[in-house]
Amino acid sequence: MSADPDVVIDVRGLDKHFGPRHVVRNLALTVRRGEIFGFLGPNGSGKTTTIRMLCGLLTPDGGEGHCLGFDIRREAREIKSRVGYMTQRFSFWEDLTIRENLAFTARMYGLDDRRARVERALTELGLADRADQLAGTLSGGWKQRLALAACLLHEPALLLLDEPTAGVDPKARREFWEELHALSAKGITVLVSTHYMDEAERCHKLAYILNGELLAQGTADEVIAAQALVTWEVHGAHLAELANSLRALPSVEQVAAFGAALHVTGTDAGALARELAPFQSRSEYAWQQVPPSLEDVFIHLMNRAALEHAAAP
């Protein structure tokens, strides 16, 4: 078992192939007890494969480490019994009620005191008033609550949530994240994959994965600071035309619309200032330097990885 009881996930050199596809490459993660750890990356980047290796559903081709103190290669059974895993797709029985789904899940886990556990989950997740509603008639947000309730029945120490809020409305997403922070306060560790930048900012720490490789890890502030980006915001008329002109500048890496403004981002502060100066002198535009966003950083990481891939022999 891992020497530090506060380290819940500690893996190094994780590698996984599916035939000729190299899905996860030399990946290392460290997640501590009670953290909400955001796992970010585009579709096909290796997030789901990594999550499945961590919870014992897939065996790595290479690498080593521990999850909940158990060896991910030799003790997968022990890990599976102590982890709550919420998949991307709703995987419950639509012709059963919420209560029946939870009762069936409790039986599959072989839990004792199943009726009390189910009733407690219904109450804690706000499902009691809908307990006799068929799962197939639930909205996306209520299906999400049912899935989370099922994950918590066996009182896991670690939740692995694979894009749990995809297709869920903003109110339900906010309520879901409030529940995750309440669980974190109780000492439950959460690793959650997401595409949403507002959700990434709610995490204690983040990791960004692309093409199976870990490109960044740390708090949101640490991830942003490490890339040393410079971002200017501009307001004014005819921003679409301005955007086309700015994209032609050598020092400009990104130009993106943010509401009624543009964000203009680069890595060389001096060159960017010189090339933007003629545009900043024009009275029809109002410019100010702003902190780069997580979205700016992740687009930068994707662009850099694409350039490195194109330059590789």
Per-residue confidence in pLDDT tens, the chain, 313 aa: 445 779 999 999 999 999 999 999 999 999 999 999 999 988 888 999 999 999 889 999 999 999 999 999 999 999 988 999 988 776 789 999 999 999 999 998 889 999 999 999 999 999 999 999 999 999 888 998 999 999 999 999 999 998 888 778 888 889 999 999 999 999 999 999 988 888 999 999 999 999 899 999 999 999 999 999 999 999 999 999 999 999 999 999 999 998 899 999 999 999 999 999 999 999 999 999 999 999 899 989 888 887 776 666 6
Model's pTM, two decimal places?
A: 0.88
- Taken in order of first residue, the domains within the chain and their CATH numbers are 7-224 (3.40.50.300), 226-311 (3.30.70)
Q: Dihedral sign, CA of 21, 64, 48, 203?
A: negative
pLDDT of residue 96: 95
pLDDT of residue 38: 95
Query: What is the spatial distance between Cα 70 and Cα 249, in angstroms, rounded to a whole number?
Result: 52
List, as own/partner pairs, every contact residues 264-273 make where C-beta atoms lie below 8 angstroms and the sequence separation is at least 24, other chains included.
Answer: 264/231, 264/232, 264/233, 264/234, 265/229, 265/230, 265/231, 265/232, 265/292, 265/296, 265/300, 266/229, 266/230, 267/227, 267/228, 267/229, 267/230, 267/300, 268/230, 269/230, 272/230, 272/232
Query: What is the spatial distance between Cα 142 and Cα 156, in angstroms, rounded to a whole number?
Result: 21
pLDDT of residue 153: 93
pLDDT of residue 1: 44
Q: Are 17 and 26 in contact (CB under 8 A)?
A: no
